[in-house]
Amino acid sequence: MRPSDGTSGGHSDGGYVTAEAAVALPVLVLFALALLWGLMAASAQIQCVDAARAGARAAARQDPPPAAVAAARSAAPPGARIGLTREGDLVRVRVEARAAGPGPLAVRLSGEAVALAEETVG
């Protein structure tokens, strides 16, 4: 009698494991890349919002417009477009950027902040 090695009929399952790994590894790599892209896009969105807030705070405390835009640009993602407008007592800063990614994954992100100008407070 032969000792049992846990395989049926003495055949090895090594070929099945290799085939399963060949299918599973590309799926895992794609999943990891999608997760990484999602994290990068979320980070860029947060940067847009933070940059808009920084620019609105600077404009609200009566910093000159170029200084307010510079404050927003320092917190914005690379290549972001920054717009500063004044509407009565309110200053509005909008930051737009594109998330890195191929083709349709390069989505447009934006953040906007509004602040009351300080000379109108009190």
pLDDT tens-place string over residues 44-97: 999 999 999 999 999 999 999 999 999 999 999 999 999 999 999 999 999 999
Q: pTM here?
A: 0.74
For the CA atoms of 80, 81, 82, 85, what is the dihedral angle to 10 degrees? Answer: -160
**Domain boundaries, given as residue ranges, for the chain:** 18-120
